[in-house]
Amino acid sequence: MTYIPKESRYEQMTYNRCGKWGLKLPAVSLGLWHNFGGIDMFENGRAMLHRAFDLGITHFDLANNYGPPPGSAEENFGKILKQDFNAYRDELIISSKAGYLMWPGPYGEWGSRKYVLASLDQSLKRMGLDYVDIFYSHRPDPDTPLEETMMALDQAVRSGKALYAGISNYPADMTREASKILKELGTPCLIHQPRYSMFERWVENGLLDVLEDEGIGCIPFSPLAQGLLTNKYLDGIPKDSRATREVFLKKKDVDSAYSKIIKLNDIAVERGQSLAQMALAWILKDKRITSVLIGASSVQQIDDNVEMLKKQVFSSEELQQIETILKG
């Protein structure tokens, strides 16, 4: 069946400028970290991408290692692009990253020029693209000079294989230095992608200030703390959950956060929202945040998350209640 996007797709979504730069991202972006790999249902992933675009989500975020197996999310995304989105490429922001293990040997991960640029070529081939809109260094490399990794990002942009350069998981001091190097090279840093949620707030200890100073956008991943900040764990640990499989989220994480989840959910209910919707809105309340990066396993989850945009404002009392719970 031919996919035809809704004509109304841009009417409800909010688009925010990425730092001081000209590019705007939707307030909600879709990440393909989970549920788009070779072990997942292809048609479910396809349906989620259709629905996301129909709702005004123009930004799809990938990385070389997304799957499993690594690379398969990009391969599946490439098939869906060719099948359904070719006519809309100029309406899409597509990002990928290099940093984690992709192939054996000394050149298959981290931040060397050799690895970063080879990985980008592989990603483009898997997705059937001439360029990505944003290309990230996925994590800092403790054994490679920062200059080398940033020079690789600069070359990716200058070669036309990426339009913008970004970094992910970099601490505040290294972010400032990376931004300085990229400016000197003539390819400024567009965006930073850190882990950030109500339960993981390290970005508030300097990173957000650096991003504001440098005019860099911010797109947090794992804003729902791998599912902790959803309705999934309100009644304990479901059999099909990540916590049961002890992948990314552990049972002990659920146990230690359980009382806070219940109290936070009470506030969400009073606001007329789900816990997930409130957690996403809480991230976006900070104007230094460009977009919040959601994951999804169903079309319904995408609908529910985007619904959050209808109620983003917090009262000072609500923010104080949330803060009291989180510090408890």
- Determine the pLDDT at residue 252: 80
DSSP helix/strand/coil, 244: helix
Higher pLDDT, 162 or 255: 162
Nearest Cα neighbor of 172 from 138, 206, 197 is 206
- Determine the pLDDT at residue 233: 86
Is the model's pLDDT at 245 over the cut of 60? no
Distances (CA, A) of 26 to 92, 157, 188: 10, 22, 21
> Would you give the end-to-end CA distance of the chain in angstroms?
52
pLDDT band at 101 (very low <50, low <70, confident <90, very high): very high
Is the model's pLDDT at 243 over the cut of 60? no
DSSP helix/strand/coil, 242: helix
Non-local (6+) Cβ contacts of 20 within 8 A are: 215
Give the relative orientation of helices 316-327 and 251-271 as an angle to the nearest 10 degrees: 160
Q: What's the gap between Cα 299 and its chain centre?
A: 18
pLDDT band at 131 (very low <50, low <70, confident <90, very high): very high
Residue ranges and CATH numbers for the domains of the chain are: 15-327 (3.20.20.100)
- Determine the pLDDT at residue 199: 97
pLDDT in tens, 60-99: 999 999 999 999 999 999 999 999 999 999 999 999 999 9
Residue 294 structure tokens: 């959601």
Higher pLDDT, 246 or 175: 175
pLDDT in tens, 8-44: 999 999 999 999 999 999 999 999 999 999 999 999 9
Is the model's pLDDT at 301 over the cut of 70? yes
DSSP helix/strand/coil, 17: strand
Average pLDDT over the chain, rounded to an integer: 95
- Determine the pLDDT at residue 202: 98
User: Quick check: 31 and 61 in contact, CB under 8 A?
Assistant: yes
- Determine the pLDDT at residue 242: 58
pLDDT band at 241 (very low <50, low <70, confident <90, very high): low
Give the relative orientation of helices 72-80 and 113-127 as an angle to the nearest 10 degrees: 40
Write the Ramachandran bin of 105: left for phi over 0, alpha for psi from -120 to 50, otherwise beta.
left
Is the model's pLDDT at 211 over the cut of 70? yes
